[in-house]
Amino acid sequence: MDFTQAAKLKRFVLKNFSVVLHIHDTCGGLYLSMDKPDEAVKEFILAYCRELSIPVTVSADETSFFPGSARQCKMV
């Protein structure tokens, strides 16, 4: 998922749900997090990623989403 796709998703969630979706861009890659758990938002994010053919991993607490391949940050 690129930043533009993530921003569109964030804007849609903000307009249609009572949850704030945060975009994080780290050395490990882009990921998303919700300010609180919400089953409907989780399902929407999963459907959005399926539509884009992007695999996504969900955190154990179901508030963070890691689209695409997970990369590890390496210190040099």
**Tens-digit pLDDT profile for residues 43-60:** 999 999 999 999 999 999
pLDDT higher than 60, residue 70: no
pLDDT of residue 69: 56
Supply the mean pLDDT for the chain: 88
The pTM of this model reads: 0.83
Mean per-residue pLDDT, 26-38: 90
What is the residue whose two structure tokens read 């053919």? 53
- Report which secondary-structure segment, H or E, holds 39: helix 39-51
Taking each continuous run of H as one helix and of E as one strand, the counts in the chain are: 2, 4
Which residues sit opposite 22 in a β-bridge? 33
Q: Do residues 9 and 52 touch, judged by C-beta distance below 8 A?
A: no
pLDDT of residue 11: 96
